[in-house]
Chain A
Amino acid sequence: MSDVLSVQGLSVTVRDKTLVQDVDLTVGPGERVGLIGESGSGKSLTALSVIGLLPEDVHAAGSVRLAGVSHELIGADERRMSRVRGLQLAMVFQEPMTALNPTMRVGDQVAEAMLIHRTVPGRRSARLAATELLDRVGLAGAMKTYPHQLSGGQRQRIVVALALANDPALLICDEPTTALDVTVQAMILDLIMQGVAARESALLFITHDLAVVATICQRVLVMYGGRVVEAGPVGEVFTRPRHRYTQGLLAASDLESADARLPTIPGNVPAAGQFPSGCVFRTRCAHATELCAEVPPWEGTPAHGFACHHPAPAMEPTHA
């Protein structure tokens, strides 16, 4: 089966700074893929490049193809991209409080998603479909409310409803629960899972929360410094990480085994565009040698592999 999303050699630059480099990424039909990394690792920029909504002075290069769309998405003009956005490709953003138009009733905002692409015959059927969508996200009777009358979790449910309105082939979620209370998170995740399952949509889920990835995704890509440093099935990557960054990330998230102090990765994430040459992690890595000044080659298959000169041994337990 061919992939729903295929990203190849994606790089994102702002003026002379490179923020994302050589990202390869595929998502199969109905597959749920996680993109994980700290702030500034380039995961959001990767997502925005796919949907073509990068800020004005930020530019993407490389190749992004979507199944069912005959043209390249990188560099496609607005006219063509607007036909893809919201129809085959939808996105849920991080901040639900500001994602909806405060002066428009939420029902109209959901209905609009279908009217734009004419996936419903007219206004009345759009309204009916919107009512049903809201019903399914547990907000029956919210058609006539305004965003300010709803909580953050409720607003995010609206955003999820309108992203799924046209049964997209791919749903991108950029930290959709980060801004929400923990109690609300599970409900939103559940809605997203149900929503993509019912539509057989593929999911690209961006987060820094390892637990969320473990619950939601089948495959995960770990990003650091604008590069994918490790990729593979969630179970493999999380139990047997090979890249030293992944290893550190997992150790820092492991609450159970940390008896006194939580292990941390030394140092800070460098500022955008300030990452070292060669292996981007080498300035913070305990295993780094002179060899790391060269960009490590990708070991393994595109779907399951890592880029590290000094990988953790294949069978080494996560926390020694």
Chain B
Amino acid sequence: MILRLVERTAVLLVSLAVASVLVFGFMAVLPGDPARVALGVNASDEAVAQLRQQFGLDRSLATQYVDWLGGLLQGDFGTSYVSKVAIGPQIADRFQVTLWLVVTAMIVALVLAAPAGTVMAARHRRISGLALSALSQLGVAVPAFLAGILLIMVFAVKLGWLPANGWTPPAEDPGMFLKQLVLPALSLGLVQGAVLTRYVRSAVLDVLREDYLRTARAKGLRPFPALWRHGLRNAAVPVVTVLGLQLATLLIGAVVVERVFVIPGLGSLLLDGVSNRDLLLVQDVVMVLVVAVLVVNFLVDLLYVALDPRLRVSR
């Protein structure tokens, strides 16, 4: 168990190091001089040279990389070449917003998918199971932004129950924060939940065919308690994989829904960075996303081990 933890941590650290080289390298080989890009084509050579010096762009790539990475490790994300504003606080702000949205959406998805998928599997030959199945297929087919627009039309415009858009930090006004969180979290959560339901269904169907479930029935457990006590953990393993993937995808994929609901998330920051040619900002945001994805995978790995004792065998 300990060995496994050490091993996974080592894998995580190596992946992070490789990722940082790749992100930095990719930005470095992009054609064009960042300073020239930042100042525009009409800027004088002197101004460009001055900016290059100011931000250390005249140094060797290796030095720049070490400087950038060292800064990141100390929480210093550098200063934008374009807006001359510190990047760290912006990312921290935006990341928090996206995290609230994505985590709430994933909770919605899970709360929806776990029971729905289980019922679909248990009743896969009955009308109720088929109906749920069809409903979830429909959910899979609806893009999140469309779900968002529909939800706005119904709950904000028609019924006026919830605000149509906007974002308030939870510390500022918790009530408003929750109200504004509901619709975007639902539009992401419903769609992701529909996808997740399919996976829960197939995982539970697989478990239902397992011999150990028959053993549990032969002991005297009724079908549902047998599934609950002996199937849940076994079915959770494939579902956790998908959950991790969805979480990682949403961190950046939430941007469309963030746009619909005018939410200042990480995705919009990245898009702004791209359209402003703010290369360091883009580089930092991409790095943060890569770190987030790798950490999610790391946690999923640990969760596997917690769920399935067979993975605890030390090699």
Give residues in A with beta carbon < 8 Å to B.
51, 53, 56, 78-79, 82-87, 90-91, 93, 95, 98-104, 112-113, 116-117, 146, 148, 159, 162-163
Contacts and interface: CB of A to CB of B under 8 A. Distances in A.
B94 interface: no
A148 B310 contact: yes
Contact of A104 (B210, B218, B220, B230): B230
Given A103-B234, A104-B230, A85 B125 contact: no
Nearest to B231: A101
Nearest to A88: B220
Nearest to B313: A148
A91 B211 contact: no
Given A103-B308, A103-B309, A87 B220 contact: yes
Contacts, number: 72
8 contacts: A79-B222, A85-B217, A93-B211, A95-B211, A98-B212, A101-B215, A103-B308, A117-B220
B221 interface: yes
A53 B212 contact: no
A116 B221 contact: yes
B223 to A, nearest CB: 7
Given A78-B223, A79-B222, A87-B220, A100 B310 contact: no
B214 interface: yes
A163 B125 CA distance: 31
A95 B209 CA distance: 14
Interface of B: 125, 210-212, 214-223, 229-230, 233-234, 307-310, 313
B211 A98 contact: yes
Contacts of A163: 218
A93 B215 CA distance: 8
Nearest to A48: B214
Contacts of A84: 220
A137 to B, nearest CB: 16
B221 to A, nearest CB: 6
A98 B209 CA distance: 11
A82 B222 CA distance: 6
B219 A148 contact: no
Contacts of A86: 218-220
B215 A159 contact: yes
Contacts of A104: 230, 233
Nearest to A51: B218
Contacts of B309: 102-103, 146, 148
Contacts of B220: 82-87, 113, 116-117
A91 B218 contact: yes
A101 B229 CA distance: 10
B112 to A, nearest CB: 24
A104 B231 CA distance: 11
Contact of A101 (B125, B212, B313): B212
Contacts of B310: 102, 146, 148
Given A82-B220, A83-B220, A103 B215 contact: no
Nearest to A165: B219
A51 B214 CA distance: 11
Contacts of B230: 101, 104
Given A95-B211, A99-B212, A103-B234, A53 B217 contact: yes
A291 to B, nearest CB: 42
A90 B218 contact: yes
A112 B221 CA distance: 10
Contacts of B214: 53, 93, 99
B217 A100 contact: no
Nearest to A77: B222
Contact of A100 (B212, B223, B229): B212
Pick the 8 closest A-B CB pairs, nearest first: A86-B220, A98-B211, A86-B219, A103-B233, A146-B309, A101-B212, A85-B220, A101-B230
Contact of B221 (A82, A90, A91, A102): A82
B212 A78 contact: no
A112 B217 CA distance: 12
Contacts of A93: 211, 214-215, 218
A116 B226 CA distance: 11
A162 B221 CA distance: 13
A171 to B, nearest CB: 11
A232 B217 CA distance: 32
Given A56-B125, A78-B223, A93-B211, A102 B218 contact: no
B5 to A, nearest CB: 19
B219 A85 contact: yes
B222 A78 contact: yes
Contact of A53 (B125, B218, B222, B234): B218
